[in-house]
Amino acid sequence: MQTEFLQEARRQAEICNACRYCEGYCSVFPALHSERFFSDGNLTQLANLCHNCRGCYYACQYTSPHEFDLNLPKALAEVRQDSWDRFAWPMAFAKHFQNSGLMIALASVLCFAVLFLTIRALGSADGEGFYAVLSHSAMVSIFLPAFLFPLFSLAISMRRYWRATDGEPVQFSHIVEAFGSAGRMKNLAGGHGDGCNFEEEDRFSQSRRFAHQAIMYGFLLCFASTSVATILHYVFDVPAPYPIWSLPKLLGIPGGIFMVAGSLWLMGLKLKADRNLGAPSAWGGEMAFVALLFLVALSGLLLYALGSTGLMPLLLAVHLGSVLSFFLLTPYTKMVHGFYRLAALIRDAQRKPAM
């Protein structure tokens, strides 16, 4: 079913396809110029391929006050957000989060923190360190479903996206190309590698690219730290707590620092950027997600630094509450953009002729 966002994006894409001034810009324009007509699926693919670098807007001669009134970054951002809402499962909650993202994130963190403190008060403890506050079995029984739910929800969302964009069977070369582009944040470097215009208007900057890389690689380091700790616990019977020179700490501490720095950096950039070149209704939800990432990383670092003090039980409850909220809200927060962008990059790799 067509939405007003798709209709407006179609109008603007047809004008851009006729103009072709931005042909050397990001991956959106080669994909856009390869089409003669724009189906809803085409527009959804273009929207998720777009990284909102905004370079095309500042180069365009048809922006307001011209009668064409082009604002392609905003048009694609609104289609992109609309697609995330339509493909999400359950769909109703996605729209609620975009409208009240910050309040939902804060409420969930507080509620889960209180839950963990309550479990502690009831006497759930079976070891030393963190397990003296909350038993290992209690943590597993809570976090395993919380980890599996977003995977199930995201699998449904990705299937809906792939079907809507007429995705083809995936080859290994498509995956390699997509991961390579995502790892370098290639599209945030702009068409000529000078960066994007997200926060500096017509001035190029690499800041947004570097902030995203700090968050992404910080998150991967933290995920690797948790994975290694899981292997140590279950395979080698080496439970936490771990010393500072252990692999979980050598991965987790730098990862947390990168996430804190990247989140603060990105929040600053978003405050400087023109909201009218994105999806204005999604701004609050996007900021809530970045703030939640910041809280997850900061509470983890504070927990390590102050873990031997009387603040440890409270810090553990806040950290576990923020991590649990992060996992459960992943299918509805901006975190989902990583999965959609990767799918869009794979779909774009399919479009290109084989070398």
A 10 A CB-CB count for 25 gives: 18
Of 25, 54, 84, which marks where a domain is finished?
A: 84
A 10 A CB-CB count for 338 gives: 15
So what's the pLDDT on residue 163?
96
pLDDT in tens, the chain (355 residues): 457 999 999 999 999 999 989 887 888 999 999 888 899 999 999 999 999 989 899 989 999 999 999 999 999 999 999 999 999 998 877 777 777 777 888 899 999 999 888 887 776 655 566 666 777 787 888 888 888 999 999 999 999 999 999 999 999 999 999 999 888 888 887 666 778 888 888 788 999 999 999 999 999 999 999 999 999 988 998 887 888 899 999 999 999 999 999 999 999 999 999 999 999 888 888 888 899 999 999 999 999 898 888 898 899 999 999 999 999 999 988 889 999 999 999 999 998 875 4
- Report how many domains make up the chain: 2
345 within 8 A of 174, measured Cβ to Cβ: no
CATH number, domain containing residue 181: 1.20.950
Q: Measuring CA to CA, which residue among 336, 215, 190 is closest to residue 266?
A: 215
Which range marks the domain in which residue 347 is found?
A: 89-351
So what's the pLDDT on residue 346?
96
Based on the fold, state whether residues 167 and 287 are members of the same structural domain.
Answer: yes
pTM of the complete model: 0.90
So what's the pLDDT on residue 252?
95
So what's the pLDDT on residue 142?
86
Based on the fold, state whether residues 264 and 282 are members of the same structural domain.
Answer: yes
So what's the pLDDT on residue 1?
43
So what's the pLDDT on residue 123?
67
Of 58, 84, 110, which marks where a domain is finished?
A: 84
196 phi and psi, to 5 degrees? -120, 180
Q: What's the CA gap between 27 and 190, in Å, rounded?
A: 9
Q: What's the CA gap between 22 and 189, in Å, rounded?
A: 15
**How far from chain centre, in Å, is Cα 66?**
34
Based on the fold, state whether residues 80 and 188 are members of the same structural domain.
Answer: no
Based on the fold, state whether residues 276 and 210 are members of the same structural domain.
Answer: yes
Largest Cα–Cα separation, the chain: 69
So what's the pLDDT on residue 175?
94
Based on the fold, state whether residues 74 and 172 are members of the same structural domain.
Answer: no
Based on the fold, state whether residues 73 and 214 are members of the same structural domain.
Answer: no
Based on the fold, state whether residues 197 and 161 are members of the same structural domain.
Answer: yes
